[in-house]
Every structure is written in C-alpha cells, then in structure tokens.
Copies of this chain bind each other. A is one copy, B any other.
Amino acid sequence: MEFDLVIVGAGSGGYEAGLYAHRRGMKVAFVELSPETVGGSCLNRGCIPSKYMRHGAYLLEKINKGDNYGILFDGLKLDPQKLAEGRDRVVSTIRENFKKFAEKLGIKIFYGRGILKGPNTVYVEGEDREIKAKFILLATGSSCASLGNIKPDGKRIFNTDQIWGLKNFPKRMLIVGGGAVGVEFAYIYRMYGVDVVLVEIMNRLLPYPSIPEESSRYLARKLKKLGVDVRLKTYVLNYSGEDVLKVALSDGSIVEVDCILLGVGRKPNTEGIGLEKVGVEKDEKGFIKVNEYCQTSVKNIYACGDITSTLMLAHKAMYEGKVAVSHMLGDSDWKRDENLIPKVIYSAYEIASVGLTEDQVEEEGYDYKVGVVSFMSNPKAMDDGEDEGFVRLIVDNHTGKILGCHILGPQAGELLHQVIHLMKAGIGVKSLANAVFSHPSLSESIIQSAMEVYYGSMTWIKRS
C-alpha cells in the first residue's frame, strides 16, 4: 500500500487525527477539496473566526466598564472592516501554518473531492487519481442546513457559511435560531452596535438537553440587558421587501431588518462520497454508523466528527479521530464517549457543560448531590469585574463520581477542563474537595462546589 492511512477531509477532526497518526509512525495522506478549505468549517467558517469576533465583543463589554478601573476615553468608534481583517488574518495564518507543517512533516495533501472506490481506495476527483491505503478515515464534516421558507442569498439573508462576507454591519438584524451559533452572533453584533432580534422556536435559548436550563435563563437575561430583543417560542412566518426586509413572526409582530442570519443547524456531508459503493452504512438521518472505536461497517474504514452524530463540535471530531487512529494501531482502551465531550458556548457569557444535567441524572434515577457556587463571592471574579455566573457540580451520592459539571461565567470554557480530566480519570469528588488551589482564582469556585457536595452545604438556612 502507498499509505497506512488516507484521511478524507482535512478539517479539525481529520487534521488532528492525521498529525496523531504521523506522531505514532503511520504514513498519512489527506484528501481535501482545495487549498482554501484546509482546516474545514471550524477554521474557515466556524469557531475560529467567530471566537475572534466574540473576543472583540467581550473586549467592548469590558471597555464599557473601564471607569471602574479609572480608564476613561472619548469618541469610541467601531470599525467592522478592521475587525474582519484581523479575523481573516488569524484564519489564514492558521490555515497556511497547517499546510506548511504538514509539508514539513512529509504528509501529502491531495486536492479534490475524495470518493471511496473500494475498501482501500480513495479516488481524488480534482487530481483524477486513485490512492491506496491500509486504513481510511472519513472526516468530511457538515454543511449548513436550509430552513424551509427562508432562502439564504448571501446578500441580505445569510447562513453561517456566508456571514463572513458581511463587512459592514447593518443597523438591524434578525437572527433565526437561539442555538450556539445564534446566541454567539447575537452577542457579537449587539456589542458592535447592531439592533438584534433573536428568535428561537423552542421555549429557551440553547435548547439542548445537555445544557441546564439555568444557563439558558442566565444568558437570555444578560442578552436582553445588553439590548438584544430575545423572543422565545417564536419563528418566522414569512418575509418580504427589498431594501428593508419586513419579517412576519409567529408572535403576530412584524420586524423590519436589514438582514437575516440563519443559525439553524447543519447536515452531515455523507452524500456523493461513495459510501454505498463500498458498503459503509448510514442511519436514517444520514449519519455514518460507527462503533465505540469510530469504526464503520467496513472494518478498515473509520469515521469521525460531524458525520457520526448530531453533536457537531470540532473537538468531538478531533477526539474521535484520535480514538479511530489509536484503534487502527491495535489499542482498545480508548473509546468514544460523548458524555465526556464538553459543550462550550461563547456568548454574553461563557457557558460550559460536561456530562449530565440535573434533569438527566434525575431521569436516569441517580441518587445525587449538587454543589452550587456563585461567582458573586469569588474574589478573583470580583477583581476582574466579572462576578456573574455559577458552578454546578453533580455527584453520584454513592460512589462520589462526578456525573456532570456546568459552569457559566468568566473563563468557563477553560475552567471546565479541570473537571473533565478528573471525570475521565475516574477521580471522585473527595479529591476535588480537598484540592490545592491558588488564591485568588476563579478555580476556587469549582473546589468550593466540590466542598459543598463532600462536606455539606454551609448556608445558615440549611444548618438551622
């Protein structure tokens, strides 16, 4: 065989898996649509550019509270063009570095659509050639799903592939969908001065079972406070107009906006890549069926990322890619476990969740305890002027095992990792309750939540 492993798709999952396989001694090649798409959706049209913009929004919020730190200024001016330039610079830097790094490592990237021709053969459409490999990893990602009655045109109606072209911010914007993408952009655009209406068909923002309702409520309250017009249980009936879009909503109102952003989900890229030809099975929703090692119905073909389940997160893809490679190399102790995959949302708060929610543990019949600690009394959070939010730690009452952790507040996305590592290693609440920490730190709140569980609550109400 020419290669040990060919990876179809050099997005987050494919790329991470490829580097990992190389590190472990495999001869690896990538097949990717074009030099411009290396890095996939996350890098080019997803988490990386949006996190850049979100940092700008966060910075604006901090600056607005600068007088608490004796920082005053005149004439604040916002320049969306500069924001976009900075963002695009980061994206292209990472993308070019990716390619250079692969080249230096001797990992070949074939450009063109990769189509399975046999269990060991991938046809590269662009280069019109076949490549052979002992193993194949499918990492083709996902695409924007469309919403029945609203057709994105990339001019005034954008999906999340197109929104990056919007270089001058509109005066008024409608965001359809209060999921991770919707709430992130609502915050970004609002902080940059746009009047945002955010509609969500369900009765809460972030309507995911893995995120506690409390996080959704906190977020909705904050977004409203910042001036976002949040409307739950609301959807778009129809729209009309040229210069100004008149959008009829299900709550009976008509809103006039300059543009619409659709943040309404994605579908797996599992069409036209030869799955049927080689017998790789899909489920009824179009996802590739994989086992706990990310192995498909064809033994030497694996799949990772957005094509394996609805949990479409870059780091889930990265994790699955490594689980797959590790299994190809004969390991069997590393298994796919969606329960350990963190969900992190960057909006007006950082919102981070891992494991089960209280609703879920109740449903599953656990005898559990919850430790809740507010950042309100955390000295570091107070010093930083970011004392809103909480840590909720859910623990199995019998075993002491950590079942879930939900953080909303400053640095939640980083803080959660200390809990993820302990959950993965099977370390229980006692160790965390007796942990060593630095003072002052945000991390103290996590340790306090573990103390609440392990030693019992210290509120005077419960003591009496």
Contact = CB atoms under 8 A, between A and B. Distances in A.
A62 B60 contact: no
A398 interface: no
B79 A72 contact: yes
Interface stretch (A170-178, A213-221, A456-464): A456-464
A160 interface: no
A429 B313 CA distance: 25
Contacts of A51: 379-380, 383-384, 440
B70 A83 contact: yes
A77 B59 CA distance: 18
A23 B455 contact: yes
Nearest to A65: B59
Given A377-B97, A436-B424, A76 B78 contact: no
B79 A382 contact: no
A435 interface: yes
Nearest to A22: B458
Given A383-B52, A414-B443, A436-B340, A66 B59 contact: yes
Interface residues of A, number: 98
Given A22-B458, A62-B62, A427-B427, A413 B436 contact: no
Interface stretch (A110-118, A239-247, A273-281, A314-322): A314-322
30 contacts: A20-B451, A20-B455, A23-B455, A43-B379, A48-B379, A52-B382, A52-B383, A62-B62, A63-B66, A67-B79, A70-B86, A72-B77, A73-B76, A74-B74, A93-B382, A94-B377, A97-B377, A105-B460, A315-B438, A318-B439, A344-B441, A413-B438, A414-B415, A414-B443, A415-B417, A417-B446, A420-B437, A421-B435, A422-B425, A425-B427
Given A55-B69, A417-B441, A427-B427, 5 more contacts: A59-B69, A70-B84, A71-B76, A73-B76, A315-B439
Interface of A: 12, 19-20, 22-24, 42-43, 47-48, 51-52, 54-56, 59-60, 62-63, 66-84, 86, 90, 93-94, 97, 104-106, 192, 313-315, 318-319, 322, 334, 340-342, 344, 352, 377, 379-380, 382-385, 411, 413-418, 420-422, 424-425, 427, 431-432, 434-443, 446, 451, 455-456, 458, 460, 463
